[in-house]
């Protein structure tokens, strides 16, 4: 079966799909190609068919251009970093898969038998690819103006205002917040990892300007960093509930919460992790603009009566570990 035969056999389904999406193709073969998954082509080796991967490649670029242009015009006061986060909320893979489902594409994508799952949900990657391929097909068929009308129409109908929602990329949001309000970027430190190789757990802390604002756990370093960033955003939003990411860069930085010397030492231990020595903690705090050396010194002395500076690292760590555990539980409780 070649492309012309497949067009004839699928004509009714293609017609129904065009009615469904509200766009009629001048070249129906482009729509057919957008709906052909590579698994379908692989099982029809004797048929000269093309899968939708090239159209997906084109559609991905067209989609990003249209959404970038749309956000640039709609939000003239937003800066590049925030616009990037907003764009991700519309064009990321999960959103494309959701829009494919909203358009009913899963009923029309041509799969190979190996990809056809009895009664199960189609893989999100297949749906996202098909949506991007559809955008590419419309671009080749009708040009940029008709493609723009289609893409923005789908967004307005199925996810209006989604660009104002969180994308789930807490690291990106925290970086924007930090640069706007502290003129610094967040710093992530691996505290520890534990568990068997097939089920590792990672603990990470995130600090800004020497101050730890959150810690998190996850099955990978990236997941733990996302959790830590989420904790930090929760705490920072408690300091300044307004949407700080939209604040002008020229505005004064947010003042961090007042903390006792005990809390500052605990934060240093959290950031350093591992077998940090008393001397390493002192050096860490010396770089923090929020720590008063005299107060921190006296508190350190009081904490370390059982482990003076001349003692071994393991002895010092036993003292600091009690602090770390208490603050670790506190920080995790803030995010839940």
Kindly state whether residues 63 and 184 are assigned to the same domain. no
pLDDT beyond 50 at 225: yes
Counted domains in the chain: 2
Helices marked H in 212-260: 221-239
- Average pLDDT on 303-326 reads 47
- Average pLDDT on 123-139 reads 94
Query: What SS3 state is found at 49?
Result: coil
DSSP 245: G
pLDDT beyond 60 at 72: yes
Model confidence pLDDT, tens digit, residues 235-276 = 886 665 443 333 333 333 334 445 566 556 665 555 554 445
pLDDT at 117: 57
Confidence of residue 81 (pLDDT cuts 50, 70, 90): confident
CA distance 78 to 68: 12
What's the order of all strands across the beta sheet hosting 201-208? Answer: 187-194, 201-208, 211-218
Mean residue pLDDT of the chain comes to 75
CATH number at residue 227: 3.30.160.20
Confidence of residue 131 (pLDDT cuts 50, 70, 90): very high
Q: Which of 164, 197, 226 lies at the terminal end of a domain, its last residue?
A: 164
Kindly state whether residues 293 and 175 are assigned to the same domain. yes
pLDDT at 271: 53
Catalytic residues: 60, 132
Residues of the domain holding 30: 3-164
CATH number at residue 82: 1.10.1520.10
CA distance 24 to 210: 58
Compute the radius of gyration of the chain from its Cα atoms: 27
Kindly state whether residues 113 and 204 are assigned to the same domain. no
CA distance 187 to 288: 13
Judged by average pLDDT, the poorest of 9-23, 67-81, 89-103, 304-318 is 304-318
Kindly state whether residues 149 and 220 are assigned to the same domain. no
Kindly state whether residues 111 and 228 are assigned to the same domain. no
pLDDT beyond 60 at 317: no
pLDDT at 17: 94
- Average pLDDT on 136-156 reads 96
Kindly state whether residues 51 and 10 are assigned to the same domain. yes
Model confidence pLDDT, tens digit, residues 196-217 = 888 888 988 899 988 888 888 8
pLDDT at 166: 57
Alpha carbons within 13 angstroms on the beta-carbon side of residue 217 total 13
CA distance 95 to 124: 10
Burial 294-309 (b: 16+ CB within 10 A, else e): eebeebbeebbeebee
Confidence of residue 278 (pLDDT cuts 50, 70, 90): low
Q: Which of 141, 164, 187 lies at the terminal end of a domain, its last residue?
A: 164
Distances from the Cα of 187 to the Cα of 25, 173, 247, 262, 286, angstroms: 50, 14, 22, 22, 17
């Amino acid at each position: 079966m070649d492309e012309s035969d497949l067009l004839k056999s699928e004509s009714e389904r293609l017609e129904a799909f065009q009615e469904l999406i509200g766009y009629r193709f001048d070249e129906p073969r482009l729509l057919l190609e957008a709906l052909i998954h590579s698994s379908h082509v692989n099982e029809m080796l004797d048929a000269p068919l093309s899968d939708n991967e090239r159209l997906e490649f084109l559609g991905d670029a067209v989609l990003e251009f249209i959404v970038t242009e749309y956000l640039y015009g709609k939000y003239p006061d937003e800066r590049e970093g925030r616009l990037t986060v907003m764009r991700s909320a519309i064009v990321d893979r999960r959103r494309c898969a959701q829009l494919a489902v909203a358009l009913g594409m899963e009923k029309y994508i041509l799969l190979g038998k190996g990809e056809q799952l009895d009664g199960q949900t189609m893989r999100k990657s297949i749906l996202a690819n098909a949506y991007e391929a559809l955008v590419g097909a419309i671009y080749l068929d009708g040009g940029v103006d008709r493609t723009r009308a289609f893409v923005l129409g789908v967004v307005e109908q199925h996810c209006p205002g989604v660009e104002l929602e969180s994308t789930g990329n807490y690291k990106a949001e925290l970086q924007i917040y930090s640069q706007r309000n502290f003129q610094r970027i967040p710093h992530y430190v691996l505290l520890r990892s534990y568990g068997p190789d097939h089920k590792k757990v990672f603990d990470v802390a995130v600090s800004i300007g020497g101050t730890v604002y959150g810690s998190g756990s996850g099955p990978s370093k990236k997941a733990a960093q996302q959790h830590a960033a989420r904790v930090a955003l929760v705490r920072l939003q408690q300091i300044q509930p307004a949407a700080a990411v939209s604040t002008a860069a020229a505005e004064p930085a947010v003042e961090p919460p007042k903390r006792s010397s005990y809390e500052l030492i605990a934060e240093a231990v959290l950031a350093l992790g591992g077998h940090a020595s008393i001397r390493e903690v002192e050096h860490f705090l010396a770089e923090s603009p929020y720590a008063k050396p005299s107060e921190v010194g006296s508190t350190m002395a009081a904490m370390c009566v059982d482990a003076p500076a001349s003692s071994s690292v393991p002895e010092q760590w036993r003292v600091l570990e009690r602090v770390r555990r208490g603050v670790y539980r506190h920080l995790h409780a803030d995010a839940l």
